[in-house]
Amino acid sequence: MKFADYHITAEIKINLEKQGFRRPTDIQFKAIPPILKGEDVLAIAQTGTGKTAAFAIPVIHKIIQQQKFGGSNKITCLVMVPTHELAQQIAKVFTSLSENTGTRILALIGGVDQAPQIEALQNGIDVLVATPGRMFDLVNQGHLYLDELKILILDEADHMLDLGFIKDIRDMMRFLPAKRQTLFFSATINPAIKKLAYSLVSKPIRIQISPKNPVAKNIEHAVAFIEMDDKRAFLERLIDENNTSKVLVFVRTKVRAERVKLAMERVQINAATIHSDKLQPERAKTMDDFRSGALKLLIATDISARGIDIPDVDIVVNYDLPEVAENYVHRVGRTGRGDKKGLAISFCSAEEKELLEEIETFLDQKITVMELEKNDYRNIVDFTRDTDYNWKKLIKEHEKETAEYLAKTKKKKR
């Protein structure tokens, strides 16, 4: 079936054609018809399956139809998401698919001046894509009303729960009309997700898109066994050997992100970080620079691993292995997009071998080990350009980080 065969407005079909979209993906094929009919949907689909368009296409169609019978100045659709970057990305998809339809879209995020957002709301918005913090701020200030909302969409719901937004989601319900259409999208399903979903949806159509291989076939995977203290020297070597490549590095914490950035700058490698402590204008500029290629090395926490579209990433480096095996898939999914080849390299220390086993179990495959001769390993460490690479300092840092990591792991297992 082609998009041309769908009962959606001509403007949407033209916009889809312009962007080269002719046939729906699996999630789009299964989700669009029930959404058009007004049914609730519970969809389990990973990043990269085309799920944003799966709900944007029918929502835009319904808004256009509503406008024909006299549009409202109240918000028709609220899309609730966990991060600023995802809100902006989804708003862009809505904007591109609704070109020349008069549909009004706003990404409502914190960290920026609220005055322009309030003005946009007062002028009328059809689709609001929001993170919880700023949304509740404006509701409490009396600038945002959701009492006539027709459609509620929760995207990346599992990530929202990971970030502790479950109370926000439940609090939001008291501002919404009981009679509404609810669309619930999550990359994973577990008892907590299921309980939340069924408290929000009514007799939903359940859709699950589960590829046999959760990772794209055109990604080459490798793991190198490197001690925690030595990782920065190996990252330095990798960047030197791939200095024209766009490299995305994932670390465990915000503090480590800044430490790795400083280590790279000490060896004259330009880098930037992105995490939740960064102000929104800085985050936006960093992402724009990385997308454009002006920035070649981005160091990130897992905030950037979920749902964010970053084109042409050549190499993903797991500087620290993720503590949740599923996050490996989200991280490495930033490379090897479409028909392009990608490389995912993991630095695994002695403390992380258990995490590696969990990842391989989740993938149902072994990751190729990069064999490092003792002399080669020693040369990489010894010939770093980092003049601040002294053992006493590194040992103190390592002991502190190891203690924090083990304490956190022990707490999780209780």
- Dist. CA 346–CA 196, nearest whole Å: 34
Look at 392 and 187; give whichever has higher pLDDT: 187
pLDDT band at 389 (very low <50, low <70, confident <90, very high): low
Written as one letter, the residue type at 29 is: F
Which pLDDT score is estimated for 402? Answer: 62
Give yes or no for residue 153 having a pLDDT over 90.
Answer: yes
∠ CA(35), CA(20), CA(18), 5° rounding?
Answer: 90
Asked whether residue 31 is assigned to any structural domain, the reply reads yes
Query: Residues 247, 184: one domain?
Result: no
Query: Residues 204, 237: one domain?
Result: no
Q: What average pLDDT does the segment 5-15 reach? A: 93
Query: Residues 128, 192: one domain?
Result: yes
Domain's final residue, options 141, 174, 209: 209
Domain count, the chain: 2
Strand partners, 152: 78, 182
Query: Residues 224, 190: one domain?
Result: no
Query: Residues 190, 265: one domain?
Result: no
Supply the angle between the helices 51-68 and 84-97 in degrees, to the nearest 10: 50
Environment class of 53 (CB within 10 Å of its CB; exposed 0-12, middle 13-18, buried 19+) = buried
Query: Residues 236, 170: one domain?
Result: no
| Mean pLDDT for the chain overall | 87
Asked whether residue 330 is assigned to any structural domain, the reply reads yes
Asked whether residue 174 is assigned to any structural domain, the reply reads yes
Q: What CATH number did the domain enclosing 29 receive?
A: 3.40.50.300
Q: What is the DSSP letter of 46?
A: -
Written as one letter, the residue type at 60 is: I
Give yes or no for residue 36 having a pLDDT over 80.
Answer: yes
Helix (H) / strand (E) element for 127: namely strand 127-130
Query: Residues 236, 377: one domain?
Result: yes
Query: Residues 227, 198: one domain?
Result: no
- Dist. CA 60–CA 94, nearest whole Å: 8
Q: What is the DSSP letter of 313?
A: B
Instruction: Yes or no: say if 399 and 406 are a contact pair by the CB < 8 Å rule.
Output: no
Asked whether residue 11 is assigned to any structural domain, the reply reads yes
Query: Residues 384, 322: one domain?
Result: yes
- Dist. CA 39–CA 95, nearest whole Å: 24
Which pLDDT score is estimated for 168? Answer: 82
Asked whether residue 282 is assigned to any structural domain, the reply reads yes
Strand partners, 294: none
First to last CA, the chain: 50
Taking only the tens place, the pLDDT of each residue in 272-295 is 999 888 888 888 899 899 999 999
Instruction: Yes or no: say if 47 and 330 are a contact pair by the CB < 8 Å rule.
Output: yes
Asked whether residue 214 is assigned to any structural domain, the reply reads no
Of 258, 236, 230, give the one whose Cα is nearest residue 350.
Answer: 230
Which pLDDT score is estimated for 116? Answer: 94
Query: Residues 202, 248: one domain?
Result: no
Asked whether residue 342 is assigned to any structural domain, the reply reads yes
pLDDT band at 162 (very low <50, low <70, confident <90, very high): confident
**Tokens 């490379």 correspond to what residue?**
335
Please, what's the largest Cα pairwise distance for the chain?
75
Look at 312 and 320; give whichever has higher pLDDT: 320
Query: Residues 178, 238: one domain?
Result: no
Look at 215 and 223; give whichever has higher pLDDT: 223
Q: Which pair of tokens denotes residue 362?
A: 């989740």
Q: Among 58-62, 94-98, 115-119, 400-404, where is mean pLDDT lowest?
A: 400-404
pLDDT band at 127 (very low <50, low <70, confident <90, very high): very high
Which pLDDT score is estimated for 71? Answer: 58
Q: Among 13-17, 58-62, 87-91, 326-330, where is mean pLDDT lowest?
A: 326-330
pLDDT band at 211 (very low <50, low <70, confident <90, very high): low
Domain's final residue, options 209, 230, 265: 209
Which pLDDT score is estimated for 83? Answer: 87
Asked whether residue 276 is assigned to any structural domain, the reply reads yes
Which pLDDT score is estimated for 279? Answer: 84
Domain's final residue, options 161, 180, 209: 209
Structural domain including 359 reads: 219-413
Environment class of 33 (CB within 10 Å of its CB; exposed 0-12, middle 13-18, buried 19+) = middle
Which pLDDT score is estimated for 324? Answer: 85
**Tokens 């990842």 correspond to what residue?**
359
pLDDT band at 269 (very low <50, low <70, confident <90, very high): very high
Query: Residues 117, 256: one domain?
Result: no
